[in-house]
Every structure is written in C-alpha cells, then in structure tokens.
Chain A
C-alpha cells in the first residue's frame, strides 16, 4: 500500500513536470523542421539570458533577424534580410551548462556556433579545438584559433560619448557608474565613461560601484537598485549602468527619485548594450548601444555567403559598432549642444585625434 502511494506521488510529479515542460516543447515544435540543406546556427547565451533587455537581448535580435527578418517582438529589422537559416538557442542556467550546449551543437554538425559573453571564450577555445571544421563566433571574447571569429567592441569609445552627455546634463557635477561583475571588460566601460566626463569638465566626480564578483552579479536588480540609491544619496544625478539585469534596478531607483514640478526627471540613468531609452521613458538619458545585433547578423551573413573568416572583428565608432542611442523617448532630455559636442568628439575619435584609454589593452 505504502509503495503504491509513493508510486502515485511520483507519477503525479512526472505528470506535473510534463505539463510544465509543455509550453517549451510547443515553442520548439513550431519552428521549422530540420532541413539539412539550410545553414544551421546555434547560439549559446550568457547567464543573463536572452531577455535581459541588454547585452544578450541584442545578440538575440541579431540572430532572430537572420532567421525571420523580424525582431523578437515582431517588428521588422531595418537593413537585415532574413537569411533562411535554422536557428537553435540555448540559455544555460549555470556556467557548467555552457560547454555541453556548445558540444551538442558541434556534434550535430552545425555550420556556425555563436557564444555570447566573455565567460564563454575559454570554453569555446576547448570546443573549437576539438571540432576544427565547424565555425565558431565569440562575442566579447578573443580566441586565436582559425575557426573562431572573435567579435569585439570598442566599448570605451561609446562610453566616452555617453560620459560627455552625462557631464553636460549633470547639475551636481557628480556621476555614477554601476558595473555588473568586476571584470576587465566592464572596466573598459568605466574608464571610457570617466574620460568622456572629464573631457567636458575635469572636476566632475564619478562614483563607481560593482554589483558583485561572481556571475550572479548580472542578475541582481535588488542590489543594483541599492547601489543606485546609495550613489544618489552621495549626489550622483546621472548613473551609467553596465550590469545586465542588475542595471534595471538603477532604472527603478531614478524613477523613485522623482521629477521636478515641470515633469523633468531629477536623476537619469544611462542604459547599456541595447537601446534601453524606452524602458522608463523620461528617466533614461540615453543608452550606450553596443551593436551586438549587427555583429552577430554579419557573421551569420558571412557564413551564408561562404565568406566566414576567423580572427578578430573589431566594432568601434567607425563602423557604428558602438554609439549612443537617440529616439523619441529621450529627445527632450539631451541638450542639442551636448549632441553637437558628442558628434564632434565622435569625429575626432574615429580620426584618431582623441585616444580613449582601453582598460583591457596591455
């Protein structure tokens, strides 16, 4: 009798698991069947997951445009035609799940495997060595293997420009910076931002904070909000976040800080990677966009056209790989004069007149 009830319980649990797994299966089933003649692209996301509204989301836009010509939210992609590929994605729940996911794609002979995030570089190095005939691409990481394309960005250049815009906007001469995980890549954002702000006004003070030192630092909006509130307490009125999901906490913090009677926000946040201007309209000064979507789309296009090349692909201000986002959500927030100065600086950076320090360069 006892055994029987235990069995019933287990069966019930399994049934529950199946019901819960149902939606996942149907979404997978609705995509096209496995057509061997098409180019197969597998993408492995970072721990943040593809709807972090930031870095991973940008990569997701890139591959979705390549697959369907539409962004994940259904709007058409500008300048990106559908490439008729088969797309599969994996969101590893833990860092340990990254390598098996990559190997699974490689075992099934995918044409291109994309890894998103610096943390995947060493893993991809291992996997790519074992599958020399499969093409790989790593976003934010560098590998010297011939079958790996390293897609890197000059985040410091884009951060320099948003630093200028922040410095032109601040009234307290105090700015904030919130990084996610304390890693050299994020220091690149930080130093660029500092230099940009100091280019406008050398006396500006910048308070910089990091959410954490492990990968959970990308997924802790509560801590992000506390950091932002503490910076606001110390006088910061423009806060630049480079912290994935944790950065969204800073958006809540500036909203909580409120508006002046004429409706203008007293404190602003600067978004990162994706265009986050419309996440909290009126409170987002601008976003330091990193066109991971363009880079990822381009590498898929290269594979489709048979023009894939390994090595380092750098996306800077010159190729519009990075920049600041202006749209209907932040038009009224940035002074035209500030934009002029930023545009002038952009010219000087691309022509080499201004050198922005790259915190990752040796």
Chain B
C-alpha cells in the first residue's frame, strides 16, 4: 500500500460500564434502527412478491438505485416529493419489467439477468445525471421542506400488514404462492402463471424503488453514486432469513437495522476497534441463520422458468 503508518493507539480506554451502556441504549438507538431498517423492509417485501411467484430477484440493489435516483432527480425538478416518489415507483416498475420479460417470457437465467440489472444501474444514474445536472452520478441537494422523512417508514409498516393479508387471505396471494410452489398444478387449475409472475416481479420493482426513494429523499437529501451500498443484498438476506414470510422478514430487517444502529452507537463509546464493531451485523446474521431460525425453505419453483406444456 502506498499509505504507510499505523493506527494511533487511543490514549483513553473505556471499559463497558453502566455509563457507557446508557450511552448506547438511548432513544436515538431506536430511531436509528427504524431509519436503517425501513429501506430494507421495503426492498425485502418487494423481493417477497417476486420470489414467492418463483422468480429470483437479485436485482433489488439495482431497483433501489433506480428508485433513489429517479426520486431525487424528479423532486429536484418538480419541487414535490410526492411526484418524485411516484416517478420512482414508475422507474422501478419499468426496470423490473426488463427482468420480468427476460426471465418469464424468454426464460433467461434469473440470477444472470438480475446481476445485469445491478451492473446497469451502476452506470445509468451516472450517465443521466451527466445529462441533467452536469455531474457524474449525483443530484443537487434537495431542500429540507421537500423531503419525506417519515412517509416511507409508515408506508413500510402498512405494506407489511397489507402483504400479510394479500398473501394469505386473497385469491391473488394464493395464486402467487401456488405459482411459486408448483406452477404445473397452478396452470392445470387454470391460473395464468406468466401473468401472476409478471405481477409479482413488477410489484417488487415498485416496492424496492420506494425503498431507494427513502434513501435519497427521506433519509438523505440527494442521490450519490451507489448510495444503496449493498442494502439490496442485505434485504435479500433478510427475505431468506424471514423464510419468505412478510412479518418474519420485517423482523429480520429490524434485526439488521438494529445491529447496524448498535454498531453506530457503540463506536467511540467502548474502546473496541471499529472494524470489530462493524462486523457485528454480519456476525449476528450468521449466528442467527446457523443456529436459531431452523430450515428456511425457498418456494419450490424458485429460479425455475415455467414452460407451459403443449
């Protein structure tokens, strides 16, 4: 490495005392958990609709980026975050439709298509922001009045409830699950497998885009390149962790959010190296995945394109 030197040894040492515990477990911790979990919940719910219908959606990261960029760009031009949010949803649906067409109509490999979308969305915001804002991947800052810091949070909570209801108490939910488990049987029962899968993937685009929009016009006030920094993949992990069920998935997202918030709060309070603290969310994931939740079974037809018998 070109950079030499060493990490300076911190002159003060703070053992884990009651006082430092009080410094960690505060109201900020709870708020921070909610803020950090919201984009995960939205994206993971999106992933749920897609994956329950049998289409792997590794593109959540890219869909979030699309939503984040569109929301910030449109809000900047229009001056109204609601229009921005709506535009983000449209952008998410459009991008998801590429995934849907490739995976459902053309039976492309779902992981490959999803990865392609993620790579595409590293470049597209950069190009578009160059055209619109003469920048290379970020939007101008949006004034505080035009931000919607709480709406997506409430929306996320409502969507968990709605998803639970839709999935288990409506005909559409039953069909979605049937198509993801056994598309042949669903087809024989007269369900249009393709249409249900298209719907699932498009909904996932819309929800992931709301998650992204929260990052750019809720939590922060601008879009910067790759600002999701892996949240799409963490949402995917939460989905698997939550066994593809809405409430469990939300709890998984909250756990990740909590771990992240905890690592934020612990830094500088206890004398533990920052690398170690930032490991916490990931270690926690592995421990919980390995030890506590038991077998997480994917929808049986996940990842398998459906070929109607002729």
Contacts and interface: CB of A to CB of B under 8 A. Distances in A.
B288 to A, nearest CB: 22
B5 A360 contact: yes
Interface in A1-47: 5-6, 9, 13, 20-24, 27
B259 interface: no
A310 interface: no
Given A208-B268, A226-B36, A229-B28, A362 B5 contact: yes
Contacts of B230: 216
Contact of A230 (B4, B28, B226): B28
B123 interface: yes
B31 to A, nearest CB: 7
Contacts of A184: 3-7
Interface in B284-301: none
Interface string B116-142: 000000111011101100111110010
A126 to B, nearest CB: 11
Q: Which of B131, B215, B220, B267 has the most CB of A within 10 A?
A: B220
B248 interface: no
B221 interface: yes
B28 A233 contact: yes
A108 B184 CA distance: 58
Contacts of A121: 1-3
Contacts of A27: 130
B4 A362 contact: yes
Contacts of B267: 208-210, 227
B272 interface: no
B32 interface: yes
B2 A122 contact: yes
B35 A226 contact: yes
Q: Which of B2, B128, B135 has the most CB of A within 10 A?
A: B2
B224 A52 contact: yes
Interface string B23-39: 10011110110011001
B32 A226 contact: yes
A216 B136 CA distance: 17
A341 interface: no
Interface in B56-112: 98, 101-102, 105-106
Interface stretch (A135-143, A163-171, A291-299): A135-143
Contacts of B269: 207, 234
A9 B226 contact: no
Nearest to A249: B220
A143 B131 CA distance: 37
A102 B124 CA distance: 23
Interface in A51-110: 51-53, 72, 91, 93-94
A226 B264 CA distance: 7
Q: Which of A51, A209, A219, A256 has the most CB of B within 10 A?
A: A51
Nearest to A216: B229
Nearest to A208: B268
Interface string A115-138: 000101110110000000000001
Given A51-B135, A213-B278, A226-B36, A142 B4 contact: yes
A245 B216 CA distance: 12
B45 to A, nearest CB: 19
Contact of B141 (A140, A209, A279): A279
Contacts of B2: 118, 120-122, 124-125, 138, 141-143
B235 interface: no
Contacts of A182: 274-275
B245 interface: no
B146 interface: no
B3 A248 contact: no
B224 A221 contact: yes
Contact of B226 (A118, A141, A210, A219): A219
Interface string B125-164: 0111011001111100100100000000000000000000
A314 interface: no
Contacts of B220: 221-222, 225, 248-249, 252
A207 B47 CA distance: 38
Contacts of B136: 49-51, 91
B130 A248 contact: no
A344 B136 CA distance: 40
Nearest to B277: A210
A149 B268 CA distance: 36
B115 interface: no
Given A50-B136, A182-B274, A360-B3, A219 B225 contact: yes
A249 B227 CA distance: 11
A118 B137 CA distance: 21
B219 interface: yes
Contacts of A274: none
B268 A20 contact: no
Contacts of A140: 3
Nearest to B133: A51
Interface string A162-188: 000000000000000000001111010
A303 B97 CA distance: 51
A9 B101 contact: yes
A248 B131 contact: no
A280 B265 CA distance: 25
Contacts of B206: none
Interface of B: 1-8, 23, 26-29, 31-32, 35-36, 39, 98, 101-102, 105-106, 122-124, 126-128, 130-131, 134-138, 141, 144, 215, 219-222, 224-227, 229-230, 260-261, 264-265, 267-269, 274-275, 278
22 contacts: A27-B130, A51-B138, A53-B138, A142-B4, A208-B267, A210-B278, A213-B274, A216-B229, A219-B225, A222-B227, A223-B36, A223-B264, A225-B219, A229-B28, A230-B28, A249-B219, A255-B144, A256-B144, A280-B141, A360-B5, A362-B4, A362-B6
